[in-house]
Amino acid sequence: MSAIKLYHSPISPNARRVRIFLAEKDIKVEIVPVDLGAKEQFSDAYRAINPRLQVPALVLEDGTSITEVPAIWRYLELVNPSKPLLGTTAKEQGVIAMWERRIELDGFAAVMEAVRNTVAGLKGRALSGPHAYEQIPALAERSRERIVNFYADLNTRLETSKYVAGDTFSVADITALVTIDFATVGANLAIPKEHAATQRWYDEVSTRPSAKA
């Protein structure tokens, strides 16, 4: 029987969201690199694993593919319930899912939009997936406004909350950490100097061993 496989790329921020999750929970899976530079994600072999042509993808022992980061997390948490990162009670699970999604839609997606509508190598690939879309300069510009607003909203939240979704570390923190590192490197927008609450939080989460994943 073959082991569970995670198809990933070291340079994919979405794959990092899963790698940090695995590290926090001490889950071992077989790690299979997909060479995005060589466009391996567009190969027929990879299309059979994920028709959206994205990493990460989790392939179970029976061959079932699970893609999309929150779906991969859900599967892994149900199979490995210790050290929960999606919450335990119904209320915790709802609140964590809410905060994680806010961070993703307002922050992570904005950074992705900035990068995909700017980088020369992504011309004609402004949205990831199987379809070709041209870059839109006005969208590149708007995405930077969105990232600025994301940082402000996140700092407001962290002024009254230890972690993004409350008192405990969760997937909402994972997405926020990956978003900030991606914004810093990909869009040259680091944490604003005056955002003390975000910096206090970042100093902690970015030094957890899982952050190296």
85 half-sphere exposure, CB direction, 13 A CA radius? 27
Pull the structure tokens for residue 63: 């061959």
CA 91 to chain centre: 23
93, burial (CB in 10 Å: exposed 0-12, middle 13-18, buried 19+) = middle
Binding region for a second copy (CB under 8 A) out of 17-25, 124-132, 182-190, 195-203: 124-132
Q: 202: part of which helix (H) or strand (E)? A: helix 196-205
Among 26, 30, 35, 145, binds a second copy (CB under 8 A): 145
Closest CB 212 distance from a second copy, rounded Å: 26
Binders of a second copy among 24-63, rule CB under 8 A?
51-52, 58, 60
170 near 164, Cβ under 8 Å? yes
Binders of a second copy among 152-181, rule CB under 8 A?
153
Closest CB 169 distance from a second copy, rounded Å: 18
Chain residues that interact with a second copy, rule: CB under 8 A = 51-52, 58, 60, 64, 66-68, 70-72, 74-75, 78-79, 90-91, 93-95, 97-98, 101-102, 106, 127, 129-131, 133-134, 136, 138-139, 142, 145-146, 149, 153
